[in-house]
Amino acid sequence: MILAVVEKEFRMFFRYPLRVISSILVGIVFLLQFVYFGQAVLGGRYSALLEASTGMGDYPTYALIGYVLWWVSVSPMEAYVWGVRRELQRGTFETNVLSPSRLTGLLFGLALSWLLMDSALMAVVFALGAALFDIPVTIPLLLKSLPAIIASLVAFLGFGFIFAGLVMLLKNIGPFAQIFEFAMLFLSGVFFPLAVMPDWVISLSKLFPLTHSVNIVRTLFAGGGYSDVGSSLLWLLALIPLYWGIGYLLFRWAERTTRVIGYGGY
Amino acid sequence: MKAMFLFAGVKWVRGCGMWAVEAEDLRKSYPKKIPLPFRRVEWVEAVRGISFRVRRGELFGLLGPNGAGKTTTIKMLTTLLEPSGGTARILGLDVRRNAREIRRRINLVAEGERTLYWRLSAYENLKYFARIYYVPKDEERERIERLLKLVGLWERRNDLVMNFSRGMKQRLAIAKALINDPEVLFLDEPTLGLDVQSAIFVREFIRRLVDEDGKTVLLTTHYMAEAERLCDRIAIIDHGKIIALDTPKGLKKLVREEETIEIRAKNIEPEKMSSSPFKMAVIERNPETGVLRLRAQVDEEELPKLVEWLVRRGVKVLSVERREPTLEDVFIKLTGRGLRD
């Protein structure tokens, strides 16, 4: 059933090549803006200050890793918010709910599809970024990073259920979700080191899986190993059940309430 | 162990009973605002305690004006909405406790044309729904082909739904609703907005589903003629309550032929009609000629008074005739107004 949802979403997305191209272009344009802005502020590609606080002094590599991981991490939330909203607008949401398939399974399929599609797009953006900024990337390095990336995405897949529940209930929560997405962009050290932020922000940032996954991947790209990022890894593994637990409980409450007021449409 | 067998046996017997749909004092209230914790909300009653039963293999109609509670009822019966009170059973299964089992055995053609994925082809739509309804893989292809041929869309199977006419979309929606071979099929206003030919196709198709395939069908409509021609029994629903339930013939017996009057008239202001002391309703308006057709239930003594009442209000009466009662007359008799009022 999950595969059926993935197949359907892929068909609808890749049926329009222009949409795919524009998504990649948007990804590239934002990346370039941030990288060039960062380099202008730092006065060049390398920053000793950045290296001292994060272990990685090459700004394009630093930004590219953070940016690509952020984009992919928010895609389950985007799927739950915009994907579910689109189904509500289409009028197909109730048709899905009516099937004997579990709603959580259908929504997970939706989030997984968006995650896979965004991953494919971001793989292209990452490759282009690496080529453009001459960043050395090897297959073993990517494979080594994969467990941390997957752990982070698994956490976000669970957390996104909160948004799925809220969309069913409140319908239009896009702006709220966007605030959350951009808060994560700033609070996870995507484009600048968290060391420059106040202590309470640093503490808060630990609750975002993205903070830990970017830290791990950057360390690996800088030549370190998993043993150097033990605490980030532990945080990440602890956040997975926490995010899934909170996400699932809130979703179930929202689903029960929605059955009282009706799934409805727009 | 014995108790388990006994319990399973009771469940089986209930599941195999003669009733496909049972509603007892079914109620539904909607909150005016989202009922968040610690928030006091007002509730509006949409369905106010309705009871009816539909036999297996019966074509049952819920007839009523917009806002009468038809769609809400159908949504409760199809497990999409939680009833506020009363009970509802489908094939002997409780809608609150056995939602998933019920969903395997029923399907719904919802109101409106946007229940399909417009960016998928007809075939891809049915394939998707076959998968989420767990249709066995080895049957999937054959079933989709059979259904698409049945609704006359096999030749257009690879076309995107967005390029289909409204009638074609509705035919595909019906095929989609048959993908799990449901024992009970719910149809919410199945011919709403269709052209005459498509509506005829849909009506004949629905009738065949009952007569030839033995399906149980519960449909909602606000088209009198549709309900009259199609349904074995009809429940007339108004303001969330069933006000009459019988066969079309039985319902029409509620209105005596000699009481049914049809008036053709001009210069009618609808707001003046609402204060009428007579059971009367406008059933047709001709925007080009300005001529209206009114149906009224009045006896011999009341008829001259009605005509006089109309004339005093500046209405130009063109003709007055006795007519055979229709379901529209039944509704006027029961509620004092027309379905479209």
Residues of B with a Cβ under 8 Å from any A Cβ are: 30-31, 34-35, 75, 78-82, 84, 100-101, 103-104, 107-108, 110, 112, 114-120, 124, 127-129, 131-134, 176, 180
A172 close contact with B: CB closer than 8 A:
no
CA distance B33 to chain A (A): 9
> Does residue B16 carry a pLDDT above 70?
no
Both tokens assigned to B250: 């039985």
CA distance A30 to chain B (A): 29
A205-258 pLDDT, tens digit each = 899 888 998 889 888 888 888 888 888 899 989 989 998 999 889 888 888 888
CA distance A92 to chain B (A): 5
A48 close contact with B: CB closer than 8 A:
no
Cross-chain Cβ contact A1/B134 below 8 Å:
yes
Q: Which helix (H) or strand (E) holds A192?
A: none
Please report which confidence band the pLDDT of residue B81 belongs to, taking 50, 70 and 90 as the band edges. very high
Residue B234: CB atoms within 10 Å? 27
CA distance B3 to chain A (A): 29
The mean pLDDT value for B291-314 works out to 84
A46-81 pLDDT, tens digit each = 888 888 888 888 889 989 999 999 998 888 888 888
- Judge residue B277's burial from the number of C-beta atoms within 10 Å of its C-beta, 0-12 exposed, 13-18 middle, 19 or more buried: exposed
A156-191 pLDDT, tens digit each = 888 888 888 888 888 778 888 888 888 888 888 888
More confident residue, A135 or B3: A135
The mean pLDDT value for B23-41 works out to 84
> Does residue B167 carry a pLDDT above 50?
yes
Please report which confidence band the pLDDT of residue B67 belongs to, taking 50, 70 and 90 as the band edges. confident
Report the DSSP beta bridge partners of residue B292.
B265, B285
CB distance B88 to B29 below 8 Å? no
What pLDDT does residue B78 have?
94
3-class secondary-structure state, position B54: strand
DSSP summary character for residue B296 = E
Residues 6+ apart with CB under 8 A from A250: A161, A162, A165, A166
Instruction: Give this prediction's pTM.
Output: 0.83
What pLDDT does residue A86 have?
86
Rg of chain A taking only CA atoms, in angstroms: 19
Cross-chain Cβ contact A98/B132 below 8 Å:
no
The mean pLDDT value for B189-206 works out to 86
CA distance B326 to chain A (A): 34
ipTM greater than 0.90, yes or no? Answer: no
Please report which confidence band the pLDDT of residue B339 belongs to, taking 50, 70 and 90 as the band edges. low
Question: Average pLDDT, whole number, for chain B?
Answer: 86
Q: How many CB pairs under 8 A join A and B?
A: 89
The mean pLDDT value for A186-210 works out to 86
CB distance B193 to B166 below 8 Å? yes
The mean pLDDT value for B104-112 works out to 89
Please report which confidence band the pLDDT of residue A264 belongs to, taking 50, 70 and 90 as the band edges. low
Cross-chain Cβ contact B131/A4 below 8 Å:
yes
Cross-chain Cβ contact A98/B103 below 8 Å:
yes
pLDDT above 70: percentage of residues in chain B:
92
Both tokens assigned to B185: 């099929």
- DSSP per residue, A75-119: HHHHIIIIIHHHHHHHT-HHHHHTSSS-HHHHHHHHHHHHHHHHH
A15 close contact with B: CB closer than 8 A:
yes
A170 close contact with B: CB closer than 8 A:
yes
A37-51 pLDDT, tens digit each = 888 888 888 888 888
Q: Residues for chain A: how many in total?
A: 266
Distance of alpha carbon B251 from alpha carbon B235, whole angstroms = 9
B115 contacts in A (CB within 8 Å)? 91-92, 94-95
Please report which confidence band the pLDDT of residue B65 belongs to, taking 50, 70 and 90 as the band edges. confident
> Does residue A92 carry a pLDDT above 70?
yes
Which residue's structure tokens are 């309900």?
Answer: B227
B82 contacts in A (CB within 8 Å)? 256, 259-260
Distance of alpha carbon B279 from alpha carbon B297, whole angstroms = 6
CA distance A19 to chain B (A): 13
- Map out the domains of chain A as residue ranges: 2-261
A209-221 vs A59-78: helix crossing angle, rounded to 10: 150
> Does residue B10 carry a pLDDT above 80?
no
Amino acid at B4: M
3-class secondary-structure state, position B37: coil
Residues 6+ apart with CB under 8 A from A239: A155, A207, A209, A212
The mean pLDDT value for B245-267 works out to 83
A223 close contact with B: CB closer than 8 A:
no
> Does residue A266 carry a pLDDT above 60?
no
Task: Give the sign of the dihedral formed by CA B301, CA B304, CA B305, CA B307.
Answer: positive
B175 contacts in A (CB within 8 Å)? none
> Does residue B4 carry a pLDDT above 60?
no
Partner residue opposite A94 with nearest CB, options B31, B80, B128? B80
A186 close contact with B: CB closer than 8 A:
no
Q: 3-class secondary structure for B19-83?
A: EEEEEEEEEEEEECCCCCCCCCCCEEEEEEEEEEEEECCCEEEEECCCCCCHHHHHHHHCCCCCC
Distance of alpha carbon A97 from alpha carbon A112, whole angstroms = 18
Cross-chain Cβ contact A99/B128 below 8 Å:
no
The mean pLDDT value for B58-74 works out to 90
A261 contacts in B (CB within 8 Å)? 30-31, 34-35
Residue B134: CB atoms within 10 Å? 14
